[in-house]
Amino acid sequence: MAEGFIFFAAVLLQGFLCARLLPHKYNYMEKGILAGAAEIAEIAVAANLLAVLGMFSLYALSAVLFVSAGICLWIVCKREKVQEASGKMSRWDVAAVALLLISFCLCFFFPTKYMPAGRDPGVYLINGVHIAKTGGITYESNVYLNEHYEEVKDLLKLDAPGFYSEYEYGISKEPGSVVTQFLHMFPSLLAVGYRVGGLEGLVRVNAFINFFALGIMYLLTKRMFGEKAAGLALLFLTVNPAQLWAGRITQTELLSQMLLFLGLYWFYEGWETEKLRYAGYAGLLFGISTFNRIDAYIIGVGILVMWGYCEWFEVKKKYARVAAGLYLILGAAALGYGFIFSYPYYKVHLHKGLAMIVGINVVLAVLVLLVGAILSMKRKSMQRNAVQTGQESDSPEKIREFVQGRGSVLLSVLLGVLALFAYLLRPVLLKNYEEPVNLYAMQQFCWYVTIPAMILLFYGFYRILHQNQEWERYLLFLAIGFSNLIAYIVRPSISPDHIWMSRRWIFVCIPFVLMMAAYGISRLPWSGKNRRGKSVVQGGLALLITGMLLIRSAAFLTEKMYGGMDEQYEKAAEQLEDDKIYLTTNTSLAGSYRFLYGKNVFLLKDMRGELQKYLQDREVYYIGNVGELDLFHVQAEELSEQIIQGTFLEKTTEHFPRALDTEEMNTSVYRLRAADQTEIEIPMSLFTIAAGSTRTGNVIETEEAGYAFWGPYMKLEKGHYRVVFSIDTAEETNGKCEIAMGGNLLAEKEIAGNKEVELEFDVEGAEEGIEFRVQTEGGSLRCDSVHLWKQE
């Protein structure tokens, strides 16, 4: 409790003094947002550094903030004039504050407790808790694996999702050593939340990051495009489903988004005031982002394009050099950091695109320098000729004139045609050459920004360039936005289910499109006489986009997804004894139990031969669905029965998720022994039941049409099998029993009032699990048991 109070005191003092250092032209809202965002960036860097040194604590972090506050106080005292806020808040600023508070409440009061460790949010949560509890990023080597490696090396996996085995990568000689998959900046921020408010504090960290990311986005848009465009962009992002989802879940994207917006803001501040220190701020913030996410190297393409233009056409080239140079230095440092502290993660991603992204950055940097040197020599030669002939080159001016004239039309049309191709023709023309995740990326991206916003993007781009003497000041924003948009439409490089896929787009692409769309709306071409008509059209477009985005968000707008899951996980973990070894095939359980609760839970590598051999002279404990095992050779005695439940957005690929699904995870504990049987009864508790079905003891009942239950995806060896379903139905009930494997139907039979439904099937290989399922066309149906025989 004491460390929390000290930390909050340090945060408030540092934030207050930081705001006093800002130029007096800003109003109190602007100062608060800028100071708050800068402080989050400082806390993230300091917490990351302390965690790497093994010294993380709120006391240490508070000390850093107090030192920083002292420096700010010294600067304030040296100034002759106090930088009081002089700017006044406009009605758009007041509306922005209201929207920011609404966004904050939607994220803060409805967080997602993503406990399953099978995917990134769960791993980040585990890392955050670990840093908070231990003060460092290093995980202790597992004693059991170190001592029993030779006997379990063919049975157990040494790693888990999000955790690489240092032994397998040659980093450590201890089989029980692991290294975390991801970088540590964001987990270090989560650790701050955990130290302040436990798990409830940790899952709300992104609510604060989202508040300042949107606040900075509003100020940036206002600086570039005006108050109306800024207000509309903030409205769009407040109700955007991807932004809302990211603000509620333990993911890194919003921290990178905030750092990017803050860097762009200070870049434009310096561009206008021609002060190099602001270029330094921007470069530092861009570079810091590479310590948070690998894909921050993609923004380097835009940064280097901007630097190249400024260098080659001599437009504030010293300013561009500072920003790009610091980004490159920190980006290189982040690569070194990654290979030292997350070597397996970086090694794997070198083959997944990291090498190409970094390579493009290096090539662009070299190209900028080489072309710059050539142009410099050419200019000197032309200057000598100009002295002799009295004529000067006007090539740069001609290029500017082209961009402001015909170029503005040609570039806008070209990009629009490419977008149209990606939306309509790519899925048809390239369907035999690309994966569906790439083919439909443009169509699915529009789920998160709407088609009207995409059209307005190109109109806004045209308005920026056409007859605009200051279009160069927008170059960095446009280069970063379009380079990311093209990269992640061409190849999203992510699992194709939604809303998960939006992670690739929320960092840059989604806010970029909506900011440009807001600018396009604000610049609709009506004369002063048609001002009312213009307002009607602008309002109509704004409401259309807002309404479409709000509909997308409606399914989870006021839902606490995975609510109460932390309590269920903790209760399930309590049933495990510290001195026993547990096996599982469930990746979500293995990571959480082992690294969050300190239990000896390991993933099975081989569920058949090695497990059966291991059980010959010993017994072992198992967590999860034993239906995945070969129960003819493994006898399972249930010790405890427990199911973890949670609601989350339905997993979809062909349409936007429209509803929440209830997910179930079997966390029952079994004792396994060796067995050699030809007949088994499959426990009904292993089957997944449909909505409308009920399970009472070992009986499943339903009156709904459709599949009543399915599962348990058993692993069976090659052979011929017979199965009997014990069915009790009303006379008018029609339905059938089915057996499937890997999506292929192996056998089916009508129920037709039979008390027992018998089927036979053959298993050719054991790659997929066997699924037994019963469907009905409506009417009362009850299943008491499913017996399975292995035929000679």
Locate the domains of the chain by residue range. Answer: 1-89, 92-113+214-250+394-560, 120-187, 252-392, 678-792
pLDDT tens by residue, 676-707? 888 998 888 888 888 788 888 778 988 888 89
Which tokens belong to 139?
């995980």
| Homologous superfamily, domain 678-792 | Galactose-binding domain-like (2.60.120.260)
User: Is the omega angle on the peptide bond into residue 299 within 30 degrees of 0, that is, cis?
Assistant: no
In this predicted structure, what is the pLDDT of residue 529? 59
How far is 353 from 187, CA to CA, in rounded Å?
Answer: 24
In this predicted structure, what is the pLDDT of residue 765? 72
Strands 781-791 and 735-741, bridge-based pairing: unpaired
For 270, phi then psi, to 5°, come to -70, -35
Strands 620-623 and 582-584, bridge-based pairing: parallel
> 344: helix, coil or strand?
helix
Q: E strands within 585-718?
A: 601-603, 620-623, 634-640, 643-649, 660-666, 669-674, 679-682, 688-689, 693-696, 699-702, 706-714
In this predicted structure, what is the pLDDT of residue 395? 66
Integer-rounded Cα Rg, in Å, for the chain is 30
DSSP-derived secondary structure letter, 747: E
Residue found by looking up tokens 């027992």 in the block:
756
Which tokens belong to 717?
């060896």
Please give the C-alpha separations between residue 590 and each of 159, 344, 471, 583, in angstroms, as whole numbers.
9, 20, 54, 8
> 744: helix, coil or strand?
strand
How far is 83 from 186, CA to CA, in rounded Å?
Answer: 33
Residues 6+ apart with CB under 8 A from 425: none
Which tokens belong to 511?
């806010």
CB–CB of 192/58 below 8 Å? Answer: yes
How far is 776 from 784, CA to CA, in rounded Å?
Answer: 16
CB–CB of 635/673 below 8 Å? Answer: yes
Nearest to 271 by CA among 281, 279, 263: 279
DSSP-derived secondary structure letter, 88: P
In this predicted structure, what is the pLDDT of residue 363? 93
How far is 619 from 206, CA to CA, in rounded Å?
Answer: 44
Residue 273: exposure state from Cβ atoms within 10 A (0-12, 13-18, ≥19): exposed
Nearest to 675 by CA among 730, 723, 629: 629
In this predicted structure, what is the pLDDT of residue 641? 84
In this predicted structure, what is the pLDDT of residue 732? 76
Q: What are the residue ranges in the chain where pLDDT is below 50? A: 390
How far is 31 from 234, CA to CA, in rounded Å?
Answer: 18
CB–CB of 660/648 below 8 Å? Answer: yes
In this predicted structure, what is the pLDDT of residue 443? 96
How far is 547 from 554, CA to CA, in rounded Å?
Answer: 10
How far is 207 from 215, CA to CA, in rounded Å?
Answer: 12
DSSP-derived secondary structure letter, 592: I
Q: What is the DSSP track for 259-278? A: HHHHHHHHHHHHHHHT-HHH
> 689: helix, coil or strand?
strand
In this predicted structure, what is the pLDDT of residue 83? 57
In this predicted structure, what is the pLDDT of residue 733? 80
Residues 6+ apart with CB under 8 A from 730: 779, 780, 781
CB–CB of 212/36 below 8 Å? Answer: yes
How far is 84 from 87, CA to CA, in rounded Å?
Answer: 9
Residues 6+ apart with CB under 8 A from 599: 573, 576, 578, 582, 593
Residue found by looking up tokens 């762009």 in the block:
264
Q: What is the DSSP track for 111-177? A: ------TTSHHHHHHHHHHHHHHHSSSPPPPPHHHHHHHHHHTTTB-S-BTTEEETTTTTS-S-TT-
Residue 79: exposure state from Cβ atoms within 10 A (0-12, 13-18, ≥19): exposed
How far is 463 from 790, CA to CA, in rounded Å?
Answer: 73
In this predicted structure, what is the pLDDT of residue 549? 97
